[in-house]
Amino acid sequence: MKFIEKNPIIMIIIGVLGISLSSIFVKYSTAPSSVTAAYRLLWTVVLMSPVVFSKKDVKDELFRAKGKTVALCALSGLFLAIHFVLWFESLSHTSVASSTSIVCTEVIWVSLGYCLFMKGALSKKAMLCIGITFTGSILIAYSDSLGSNHLYGDILALLAAIAVAIYMLIGRRVRKTTSTTVYTYIVYFACAVVLVIMCMLQKVSLFSYGISAPVVGFLLAVFSTILGHSIFSWCLKYFSPSFVSASKLCEPVISAFIAMLLFNEIPTFIQVTGAVLILGGNFLYSKIEKASE
């Protein structure tokens, strides 16, 4: 563990690979977005519970959590739930490449929120790198949308990006005094509750869509939540929220490649150009972030 703490960039890489599988798994679910998302978080809570309650220090910290901390975690869980529903739904109206690219513009919203509400600061070079990665995402989305009406799906993905940016900013604040395990457990529990309530309000059953929803939910819980979002929450202790979000900009590149193999979504020259910009901008941003430490 000490090796990982000295080299947290390893966890960033694992997290990126984990979240890159999200859109692929969602494509295989036949249930409504709220149902798929609910299964994802319910499975996550089930898988985390033995770890949380078997370790005395973690259990003690959980039960000692202050009301303000629980409230902030619950608020974070609310925005995470909104993010999942909006993003999953966007994948029903646009392609993997377009949706993941637009969702990854969260780095713009995180950086803006970090500067406005958390007294953070970004250098001109950092802003340039974010601009480069944002341009790359736009190029991918534009190329993928040529000849199709994906506007509704793109708007949903954009709103999902704003929602997850708020989730990240709240996490940055809470993680200063709360361990990763306790923070993520409360957040995921709150998120699961919100999603189940959403299903009830929509009058959709968790058990009416066959085996695909719980299976997809389980895969999302393991690969995309525990090995994705949880790892990014852990990384907030070692990196700024802007860098963590910028790292996620690799997601559309990996997801688009997998989608090409599974769904025959062949990338165009513009999409490849966008991918190069995303990776290049993210690499330069990581260099700037490390130099400022």
Res. 144 pLDDT band, cuts 50 70 90: low
Output the pLDDT for position 160.
94
Asked, for residue 13, whether it belongs to a domain, the answer is: no
pTM of the predicted structure, to 2 decimals: 0.81
Output the pLDDT for position 186.
92
Percent of the chain topping pLDDT 90: 25
Output the pLDDT for position 239.
77
Q: Which residue has the higher pLDDT, 167 or 145?
A: 167
Asked, for residue 122, whether it belongs to a domain, the answer is: yes
- Which of 211, 223, 184, 171 shows the shortest CA–CA distance to 20? 223
DSSP state of 250: G
* Total domains in the fold of the chain: 1
Output the pLDDT for position 175.
72
Asked, for residue 7, whether it belongs to a domain, the answer is: no
Distance (Å, whole) CA 37 – CA 39: 5
Contact indicator for 266, 260 with CB cutoff of 8 Å:
yes
pLDDT digits (tens, 9 = 90+) for 107-133: 777 777 777 776 666 777 778 877 887
Output the pLDDT for position 152.
81
pLDDT digits (tens, 9 = 90+) for 167-185: 888 887 787 778 878 888 9
Res. 254 pLDDT band, cuts 50 70 90: confident
Token pair listed for 213: 């929803």
Mean of all residue pLDDT scores within the chain = 83
Asked, for residue 280, whether it belongs to a domain, the answer is: yes
Output the pLDDT for position 78.
95
Distance (Å, whole) CA 293 – CA 291: 6
Degrees, nearest 5: CA angle 253-145-268: 50
- Find the domain containing 73 and state its range: 31-291
Output the pLDDT for position 109.
79
Which range has the top average pLDDT, 18-22, 126-130, 188-192?
A: 188-192
pLDDT digits (tens, 9 = 90+) for 197-252: 999 999 998 888 888 889 999 999 998 888 887 788 777 777 776 677 677 777 77
Asked, for residue 224, whether it belongs to a domain, the answer is: yes
Output the pLDDT for position 3.
62
Distance (Å, whole) CA 155 – CA 86: 9
Asked, for residue 188, whether it belongs to a domain, the answer is: yes
Q: Is the pLDDT at 147 greater than 60, yes or no?
A: no
Q: How far is CA 139 from CA 75, 130, 144, 252, in A?
A: 33, 14, 8, 12
Output the pLDDT for position 209.
85
Sign for the CA dihedral angle at 114, 119, 122, 127 comes to positive
Distance (Å, whole) CA 288 – CA 272: 25
Contact indicator for 249, 285 with CB cutoff of 8 Å:
no
Res. 77 pLDDT band, cuts 50 70 90: very high
Q: Is the pLDDT at 6 greater than 70, yes or no?
A: no
Asked, for residue 102, whether it belongs to a domain, the answer is: yes
Output the 3-class SS for 1-24.
Answer: CHHHHHCCHHHHHHHHHHHHCHHH
Degrees, nearest 5: CA angle 173-67-161: 40
